Structures are given as structure tokens and as C-alpha cells.
Structure 1
Amino acid sequence: MLRFLGLDRFFRLIIRGLMYLWVRVQVSPHDLELLGIDPNRPICYVLQNRLLSSVLVLDTEMRNLGMPAALSSMRRFGLREKHSLICLTQEHRNPLAKPRHAHSPRLVSLMDAVFEDTTLDVQLVPVTILWGRSPDTESSWLKVLFADSWATPSALKQLITIMLHGRQTIMRINPPISLRQLCDDTQSSERSLRKVSRVLRVHFRRQRTAAIGPDMSHRRTMRSEIIGSDVVQAAIAVEMNSRQVSRDVAEARARIYVNEIASDYSYPVIRFFELFLNWLWTRLYNGVTVNNFEVIEQHVADHEIVYVPCHRSHIDYLLLSYAIFIRGYMVPHIAAGANLNMPVVGSLLRRAGAFFLRRTFKDNPLYGAVFNEYLHQILSHGYPMEYFVEGGRSRTGRLLPAKLGMINMTLRSYLRDNHRPLVFIPAYIGYEKLMEGGTYIGELQGKPKEKENIFSLLMSIRKLKKVFGRVHLSFGAPIYLNEHLDAHMPNWREQGPAAADSAEFAPTSMALGLAMSTGINNSAVINPINLISLVLLSTPKHAIDEAQLAEQVALYKALALAVPYSERLTMTELDGPAMVAYGEELKILQRRKHPLGDLLYLHEEDAVLMTYFRNNTLHVFALPSLIAVLLLQRGDISQEELLGRIKSVYPFLKSELFLRWHDDELEAVVAQYVNSMIELGLVLRTASGCLAPPKVSSENYARLHILSRGLRQTLVRYHMTVTILNQRGTGKLTQQQLEELCHLLAQRLSFVREFSAPEFFDKGLFKGFLDTLKTLGFIQICSQGTLTFDKRLDGLAQEALEVLPSGIRQAILQVTLITDDAVNTALAALEASKERKKQRASAAKSNA
């Protein structure tokens, strides 16, 4: 009737005006040129549901973007259609009823026109509009009724949804689909119609899965599925036999484990966190920058995504989910340590998507079976997931070696069910100041790790008035699991789940963990604090002239830009003086006035913490730093000899810093760095073609000297470890004893020399170096469990000796020349201390 009287446009105008008093729409992408829509060819938008609110939002936003409006005519292209809009689900006459599913008359008409005119093509542009995002867990009738979910809404529900969620409306425009291409594949108009409808339905289903998660049943149903699975039932049978309990008791224990582990996703809690974090970022930080997010947009619809970020702070949990959610995608389910399952806080994290796991469950096969099955349910139902490959937070700023537990479980789940391709997305998270900085320093200096609790969380609120700079999140290159398995387990498709028991499984898992760590480092963000820390920690007393500091950080930036570490690396846009000013703004740099030029320095405690930020990006400058070390020690050196010496050290640096280059790439990369350093004045090429450092009295020599000191502590650790091995002799120490001895001697050396950073004597770094020595065949473990070696180690020790200044060499020899009795006494004391700790832990477990 309204259409007959010509009032429909008038009423749409009124409804549009009233609706936009409240509704706020987030449109993506902002740059429509990326979609490849041709404005000179017919355009017809496609919505999943014919809801007046969605139609008006689509029409309004397209007009605002300068595109043809959804309610505009297609007659200028010779088509009879009054509107440029198709809806897969048609309206019902009863406004309180759900829409029915049928072929759109306009789609039928456009299909007929394309078949009649072989030169005609129509661009179908699918548009997804979401009014709030909540998975249909059916655990609360209020959430199901009033939040956008998989259920097709009625008009009444949509009205209330707009009132509740209108300010969180998302409109996602997708690349056009050629109607001509879809029709050319079939001879029948009817078959083409079914094909087009199917393609569009699949497209919308994937879009909704990416935004609100898959259509998954509620927690009680998932618990029943987990308990009823063959894997868990087998573990229940083992539990009954080993503990002599009834089936009811064993199943009850399994249900307790499910409730302990499982997340309980809640859209209201997610919205609470969004509002809280909007406030937190502005109160605590100067902002959050996100780089390379397009990698998520490219894979979220067609792949099961597992996010694998580095772990630097408790803020990591919140940051990644926040960045994903505000861009209109599903918050991942996050693997969190059971230590975070605290009263109140644990419940909030669980409803924000966290699921909890114990640090170890080797001695509890029932818990292990339940957790593995829960993980499989998450992956097989299409939920995005996130876990930290390092296992725990890095206390040194270095990327820790990947822990393979979660990786192994993910691989086993995928081998069991791989109907949907899986992709790992590495993510680098970088800070400019840390909330946990003081705690990290204490732990590195030997204090016991603090247990998370409500009190410590409340105490951290005091820090909200402090300024912590910016936070940087950068996504790395995707790692496709299918491709990785094809490369390392060629027969995995034929073997199926049995491939998890093959000899290839462990190397495949280790290679995957290494790829994740390398991918994280490849996507690093170099901020001003990283560069300032690299410079000041390489100067005596951590002090430097202001102008010299500005020049040196600018030099580091120029070097990184001249030879990009990777295409996903992000560099600060600030110049040298601006970086210095920024360091003062964050109260990291201290200033001492002087008539000849102000000096900038670090307080002693700040200097210790700055090693953390240096280590975040040390891998980017490892090779140029090593080149500088060799040039300063050798003087004139041919490029061939330089390359040979780099190759002897590179495997250890690659293992410790997760460097990206393979051995066969080194020659080209070293040549690029040498050429860039020549252009920057750091290296000279002599008349004979050799490489040489600048004159000792020149400014460039001082700059090269600062650059060389970035790797000094690393090289000292290598040399000291090899020296101790040679002094003690083959077959005398176990690896654990050697790690303990290196740790103690490094502590002593740090008091003698300038190596005041606690991470210098970190046991994990010595363990990693020894593992690499074993991998390369320099050392072996004999049947008695001790380390054995041959004369190859002498050659390695000599090479390490030649890259260190004479003063440091003498200090290492002085510290390592200790008697066997002193060594045995120290090691015996450590063993006794460990035994006491084991007894206390065993007693505590028995009491529990």
C-alpha cells in the first residue's frame, strides 16, 4: 500500500533518520579499491537476510563511500531491476515470524538476463552486517535473543537487537563475485541458480564463523561429548583399574577436569573487557599500533587459525584479543596457565575465552586425555585458538625456545581430523616499558618466582598513573600446516592419526616450533627504546653525549633499513633527536648538564631492565655486530675470511636468536651488510680489496666500536663454556653440572667485568648453547651421562678466543681457573639444595 501511494521512500527516510540517531557502523575495508569493484559494470549487493535495518545501513554506508546505493536502480545498465540488492532470505508477511528461505526473484531475473546477453556480467558484492557478536551457546536465553548469532532473527528480535547492540554494528564488504563466471560453468539456468545460491550461502557462513565463531552447542553438551569420546573413555577405564574406583567416581573426576579446563565464552564479558581496555590503553599507554593485520583478514574465513604470539607480559592476553575483536573478528580461545585461574579473575578470563591447563600432567593420564579431547573439540569445531609457544613469559626479553606440548597436541588433533585447513599466525608483541619490570629483575637476580594472586593484581593498579609508552603488535607470515606436514611427513595423509606415532613426528614438531619462533622474530617492531638500549648498554657506565646518542640510533635505523631483516619488520618513524627526546619523555634517559654538551645516562636499575628491550631486537643487528667484532679484532681481513669466521659462529647465534637465514644464504647477506656498512662509513675497502675498520681517531671508529659491543656478552658466554669444558676435560661433567658451573662462573665474571645484566648468567642460555654443540657434533653424551669431546673443540675454542679483546680473554681465564675441589664442593651444594626442594615438593603433594 505504501509503495502504491509512493510513501515507501518517505517512511524509509524517517526510519533511517531515527535509526542513525543511535546506530554506529564500523565499515571494513576502508579502501574499496582493494576489493577490485568496477564501478562501470553492474553492481548488485547481496545480504544474507532481508531485514529493513540491514538494508538501510547498507544503502546509507554505500552512499557515504561514494558507491552505488543499494536502493538505487540498475536501469542505467539496461536492466529492469528497481534496486541493486539481493537478499538470500526473503521476508514473511507476518512481521513476528522468521524469514523464509527461497531463491531471490531479483537473482532469478539477473540470471536470466546474463543467459540472454552473453556480453553482460553482474558483480555480486556480498556484504555481511553484524549487530553485536555472540556465539549461540544457548546458555542464556537473554543472550540468544538479543545478540547477533546463527539464528535467523525475527523483526521483533531485530528491533531489540538494534537497541542493545546498534553501536557495535559491523559492515564488512567483500570482493565481488562474477555472475558471468558462475553461469559459464553450467548449461542450465536452474543449475546456475542453485550454484550461485550455494556459493553465497557458503560465503556468508564463513563470514559469520570468522566474526562470531561456529554454531556450537552449549558447555554441557560439549562436556558430554568429551566424556563420551573413545579417548576419554579409555582413560576412564585406566583410572578405574589404577586407582581401584568405580566408573561413576572416575567419570565424575573427568567432569571436574572438564569444568576446570573449559572456557565459557560470554559476549557481555567480552564487551566489558572492550570498554575496560579502551580506558586502560588511554590511561596506561600512549597507544597501540597493529601491523600486518591483513594476514588475519586473508585467512579467517577459510582456515582454522591458531595464533602463536611471543609472551612478554600479562597484558599480552588482553592485547591480542582486543586487537582482533575491535576489527570485527572472533576472539580466540586462549590457553592460559592454571596459576591464572584465581578467584574472580579466573572466572572473567574464562568468559573472555581463556581455557586453563596445568603446567604438567604427565602423572595424570585422565587429565591429559580430557585436555587433549577438549583441544580437539575446539579445533574441529572451527574456533580460533591462541597459545604462547614459549610456555611462560620471557624474563630476559629474548625469545625462548618453543615448548612442544601444545604444538604436539595440535598436530595430533589435526592428524585425527583435518577437514578444515589450519594455519599458524606468529605474532610479535613489543613494549617500551614493562609493568612487570621490577619483578623480572628480581627473578633474574635469583629471587623465587612470584605466584599470581589477587593481592599482587590489586597492587599493580597503583601503576595506572604511570606512562608506559606505546604497545606494538605485529603479525608474521602464515605457517600452513598442510605444507609443513608435506615437507616433513610426506605420508601423513595416508597414515592419518597413526602418523603421530611415527619416527618423523618429533622432528616435525620441533621444526614447526622453530618456524613459529623464527616467524615471530621476523615480524619484530623496532621502537626507539630498543635502539636507545642497544646504544647505551654498549657504552662504558651506560652514558653518552646527547648528540652522539642521536647519531648512533640514527645509524642503527639506517643500517636496518639498508638491509631489511625481513619484509614484515617494522621500524620506528622517528629520527635520531626525536628518539632521544622520546626516551626522556618516558623517563628512561637521565640528563646531566655539561658546558661541552649534555650527557645522557641510565640509572643502574634502569640499565639492568634495558637489557630486556635490547634483547627484543638483538637478532636484527646480530650479523652487523659480528662483522664489527671481527673487523676490530682482525684489522685488515678479506671478505672470504670474514665470511668463513662468521660461518663458524653463525650456527650458535642462529639457535639462540632464531635468525632467519640458512647457511647457503649467508654469503649474499654478509655482502649486503658489508656494502651498506661501507656506504655508512663504518667499513673501509683497502687497495688490495680487503676490509678494514676506520681510523682509530675517527667518529666512525667509535660508532663501529659501539655496534660491536652488542654481541659481546653472547660471545663471552660461548668462549667461557668451551674454556671450562677444555679445562675440566672430556668425560668429567654431565650437561646439568656444566650448566650449573657456567652459571656460577658467569656470576663471578659479571662482578669482575661490566656484564651486570642478570641475563648474562641465565642458565637457559648455557643450555641452548650446549644443545647446539651436541647437534653440531662437537660434544656427545656417553653411556655414563657425561659430556665427551675431541680436538674439534680446541679449534672452536681458539676461534672464539680470537674475537674477544685481550682484557676479556684474561678475565675469563682468571675466573675459570678454579680447583677441582672448589668445583666439586659447589656442585655438591647445588645437588643438596635441589634434593631438599624435591622433598618439600613431595611432602606438599602428599598433604594435598
Structure 2
Amino acid sequence: MPERETETVFLVEAGSSFELNCIRKWIEEHPRHSESDAKLVVIGDARDGGHKELKTLMDGGDISGDPWLQPLRVIWKPSEDVRHGKSFVNTWLATVFEKPGRFRQKLMGGSAPDRLRVAEGQGAFLSTVRERFDETWGSEGVRTTRLPEFVVRQAVIALDRAERSIRGARYKVARLLMGDVVSSPSFQRDLGALAGTLGRSLSEVETETKTYLDEMSARQTPVSLDIAMGLYRRACRSHHDGNIDYEPEELEQLRQWMEEGPVVLLVTHKSMLDTMAVSTVLFEHNIPVPLTFGGINLNTFGIGRLAANSGVIFLRRAFQDNDIYKATFRRYVDYLVEKRFSLMWALEGTRSRTGKLLPPRYGLMNYVVESIVRTKTHGLRFVPVSVTYDQITEVDDYVIEQ
């Protein structure tokens, strides 16, 4: 909270009237927030233009001076059955409907109030946020008329951090994707040059870019992480011992590295369970699960949506002849590296199907290394991970394939 007397502007991310009422009640119950001159602005979601109401108020002079900006959000915790994948129906519903609808919100608010909580993001003075804007967007030539959009994005980032502190460190989710990637001035220049080379309009190239971005992007959400990790856990234990063996000292070393900065886990690939096992161990020890690169063939009905929402980046096997796709993927990797998200993929590119290691494929590594150089992002570690089995479950399938 501010150390001096000032106007407070609540930046509220609320998707329904019920959530908005919950936040209003929360403000009333916290005297330090109930200033008579406080204003409440519903920012919605920055990906859906939630900055428009704030821009209207700032342009109209309703918000002036140097107010304190305080982000607030309602978060919904999943039931234990959903978290551990015990109920198929509840799991399926939670996958399709990431946030409960208005009717379920009212029902849960009365029957399970412990699953509802107001998250309070780190606030800041408007002048402080304006300085950040000048240092980042402003330095790239973005006009100050987009300051409200930047304010909302900063508020959502602060709320994500607050939500992660409530749910646990494992819930470091990727958000604000479409706007951050497409609106980058340098990327816009690249798209303009590409449109000229291909003899197409910029709008056509942007539309195709957004299609590819929507296809490949990992839209991580806490509910989907809970569901996916519950299913991963069951898959790993279905044909193996209930406990996954690991080296405690090495896991703690990895935790320390991930607290210091992003890492890239390069996993051996002998089974479909490889990345599932690694993700399960990390999640159970409250360590953020890296975004995982996977083949586009996994993007099937039902499974694809859950996988994307739990951190899988769907990548086409071959795209060297598609300049727009390459440019989009390059910019997406830049975005992930700039935001310091940890990544994971199989260095061999495909399962060995023999139980032995295959020669590494350096395509993805080249993209990441080039991005590190291009974005001048330092401190990223590459960590090799070996996953071994007493018995590989797919061995019978390998024999049939041979």
C-alpha cells in the first residue's frame, strides 16, 4: 500500500457480476482499501482489450494526478477430485470450462466458499508504471496513447504472481500471449518486410500469423495443470511402481537453478512417459513445470486442448518452406525467452524405439540459442535429464512396428 495519502484505483479482473460483487465486498471488509475517493475499474482480461475502460477514464480526466493502482482478482480452486483426476466427469467439465460459470459460481460461493479467494497483486503508483512504460515500450517507439494497455498488462502480471504465491510456485503460467507477440514493433517490421517479399498485404500476413500462434501457443492455466498432472501421475503409475525414483540432491539443485533463472531441460526419449514423469516429479515438489515442445500430431480433439492448457507447445514437424510460420515461431521463442519461461523437449526429437539413445537433433536448440543472442537474455541454463526404465511399456508396440 502507498506510504502517502493518494487516490486509489482498483484494477479488477472480474469475469462476472458475482466475481465483481465478491471483490466489492472484499474491499469493504478491508478498511485500508475503503477510501471514499477510490475508483474501481474492471479491466477484464488484457488479451480481450480490458484496457478500454481504463483508457476512457484516463482520457476523460476521471483519473488524474498520481493514483495508487491496486490489482485484484477472484481465483477459483479446483476440487480434490479434479486435482487428482479421480472423477472423469468433473475432470472433463473443468477442462472445457476453466472457470466456473455464473450459476456454478453462486453455487460454489454458498456451498464451498473455501474454493474462492481474492488475490491482491502488488500495487504501484501510476508514475512508477509510466516509467516502466518509457523504459520498455516507449524505447521501441510505442506511443504514450497505449499507456492504459501497458498498465493493464502490468496489473495482470502482478495478479499472476499473487495467484502463484497462493496456489504454489508450480503454477507459473504463460499469459498475455497474442498481444505481446503480435504488437511487438520489431515483429511488426519483420511482418511488413515479409509481406512485401511474398507480395501479400500486411493484414493477410498478420491473420495467418495469429492462426499459427494460436495453434502453437501454450495457454497454461492452473486448473488444466492440476488435471494434466493428475492424469500424468496415473499414467506413470499404471505399469510401474507408484514412486518415481530421483536424486534428491539433483532435484534441489534444479529447484535452485529455476529460482535463479530459466532452464531448458533436454530429456532422453525412450517412452511417451518421459516428459510426463519429469513433469510429475517437478509438480509434486512445487517446482514450476516447464513449457514442453510436442508434435502437432498430439493436437487431437479433447487431448489437444488439455495439453495446450497445461503447457504443451504444438510444433509442426516440417516448416522450413513456410516463411510466415518460421517468423511466428521465432518471435514466440523470443517471447518465452524474454519472459524467462523454462522449456523442455526431447533432444533426440523422437522416441528411439530401441531403448538406446539416438543422435541429437539441434533444430530447437538453434532457435533458443539464437533467441538468447537476439534478445540479450542471459542466465539460461541447459540441463540434460536422463529417464530410465526397468521395463519400457511400449516395447511390444516397438516389436510390432519393426
> Residue 289 of structure 1 aligns to a residue in which SS?
coil
Cα 1:404–1:283 change in 2 (3 A) is closer
Q: Matched residues in 1 for 2:359 and 2:73: separation?
A: 43
Q: Who is 1:240 aligned against?
A: 195
Q: Matched residues in 1 for 2:27 and 2:315: separation?
A: 51
Structure 2 alignment gaps of length 5 or more: 1-25, 35-43, 51-71, 78-108, 118-160
Report 1:262-301 matches (<5 A).
262-287=217-242, 288-291=244-247, 292-301=250-259
Cα 1:289–1:413 change in 2 (3 A) is same
Q: Who is 2:311 aligned against?
A: 353
Report 1:269-668 matches (<5 A).
269-287=224-242, 288-291=244-247, 292-443=250-401, 445=402
Q: Matched residues in 2 for 1:165 and 1:310: separation?
A: 40
Report 1:4-23 matches (<5 A).
none
Aligned partner letter, 2:180 = E
Q: Matched residues in 2 for 1:161 and 1:293: separation?
A: 36
TM-score by length of 1: 0.29
Q: Who is 1:259 aligned against?
A: 214
Q: Matched residues in 2 for 1:331 and 1:394: separation?
A: 24
The answer to whether the 8 A contact 2:293-2:314 is kept is: yes
- Within the alignment, does 1:95 sit opposite 2:24 as a pair? no
Aligned partner letter, 2:382 = F
CA deviation after TM superposition for structure 1 residue 433, in Å: 2.3
> Residue 336 of structure 1 aligns to a residue in which SS?
strand
Q: Matched residues in 2 for 1:398 and 1:313: separation?
A: 11
Q: Matched residues in 1 for 2:385 and 2:284: separation?
A: 17
Structure 1 alignment gaps of length 5 or more: 1-91, 101-135, 149-157, 167-203, 446-848
Q: Who is 2:152 aligned against?
A: none
Q: Matched residues in 2 for 1:321 and 1:159: separation?
A: 35
Q: Who is 1:146 aligned against?
A: 75
The answer to whether the 8 A contact 1:332-1:383 is kept is: yes
Cα 1:283–1:402 change in 2 (3 A) is closer
The answer to whether the 8 A contact 1:235-1:366 is kept is: no
- Within the alignment, does 1:164 sit opposite 2:115 as a pair? yes
> Residue 260 of structure 2 aligns to a residue in which SS?
coil
Q: Who is 2:19 aligned against?
A: none
- How many residues align? The count is 268
The answer to whether the 8 A contact 2:296-2:315 is kept is: yes
Q: Who is 1:194 aligned against?
A: none
Q: Matched residues in 2 for 1:290 and 1:137: separation?
A: 40
Aligned partner letter, 1:95 = E
Once the two structures are superposed, residues 696-752 of structure 1 have per-residue CA deviations (whole angstroms, 9 ceiling, x without a partner) of xxxxxxxxxxxxxxxxxxxxxxxxxxxxxxxxxxxxxxxxxxxxxxxxxxxxxxxxx
Q: Who is 1:523 aligned against?
A: none
Aligned partner letter, 2:238 = R
Aligned partner letter, 1:229 = S
Q: Matched residues in 1 for 2:112 and 2:383: separation?
A: 33
Q: Higher helix share goes to which structure?
A: 1
Cα 1:161–1:243 change in 2 (3 A) is farther
CA deviation after TM superposition for structure 1 residue 263, in Å: 0.8
Q: Matched residues in 1 for 2:209 and 2:357: separation?
A: 35
- Within the alignment, does 1:250 sit opposite 2:205 as a pair? yes
CA deviation after TM superposition for structure 1 residue 99, in Å: 6.9
Aligned partner letter, 2:75 = F
Cα 1:275–1:416 change in 2 (3 A) is same
Aligned partner letter, 1:213 = K
Q: Matched residues in 2 for 1:383 and 1:325: separation?
A: 15
Q: Matched residues in 2 for 1:240 and 1:421: separation?
A: 35
- Name which of structure 1's ranges 390-399 and 254-263 shifts more when overlaid on structure 2: 390-399
Give the % identical residues. 22
CA deviation after TM superposition for structure 1 residue 334, in Å: 0.6
Cα 1:97–1:260 change in 2 (3 A) is farther
> Residue 300 of structure 1 aligns to a residue in which SS?
helix
Q: Matched residues in 2 for 1:276 and 1:261: separation?
A: 22
Cα 1:282–1:398 change in 2 (3 A) is closer
The answer to whether the 8 A contact 1:210-1:300 is kept is: no
Aligned partner letter, 1:163 = D
Cα 1:138–1:269 change in 2 (3 A) is farther
TM-score by length of 2: 0.58
Cα 1:93–1:232 change in 2 (3 A) is closer
The answer to whether the 8 A contact 2:290-2:343 is kept is: yes
CA deviation after TM superposition for structure 1 residue 227, in Å: 2.2
CA deviation after TM superposition for structure 1 residue 235, in Å: 4.4
Q: Who is 1:23 aligned against?
A: none
> Residue 329 of structure 1 aligns to a residue in which SS?
coil
Cα 1:294–1:341 change in 2 (3 A) is same
Q: Matched residues in 1 for 2:32 and 2:344: separation?
A: 36
The answer to whether the 8 A contact 1:147-1:161 is kept is: no
The answer to whether the 8 A contact 2:236-2:273 is kept is: no
> Residue 347 of structure 2 aligns to a residue in which SS?
coil
Once the two structures are superposed, residues 488-546 of structure 1 have per-residue CA deviations (whole angstroms, 9 ceiling, x without a partner) of xxxxxxxxxxxxxxxxxxxxxxxxxxxxxxxxxxxxxxxxxxxxxxxxxxxxxxxxxxx
Cα 1:93–1:272 change in 2 (3 A) is closer
CA deviation after TM superposition for structure 1 residue 436, in Å: 2.1
Once the two structures are superposed, residues 201-231 of structure 1 have per-residue CA deviations (whole angstroms, 9 ceiling, x without a partner) of xxx99x95954327x643xxx2233223355
Q: Matched residues in 2 for 1:93 and 1:364: separation?
A: 52
> Residue 387 of structure 1 aligns to a residue in which SS?
strand
Q: Matched residues in 1 for 2:375 and 2:237: separation?
A: 43
RMSD, matched Cα:
3.7
Q: Who is 2:57 aligned against?
A: none
CA deviation after TM superposition for structure 1 residue 351, in Å: 0.7
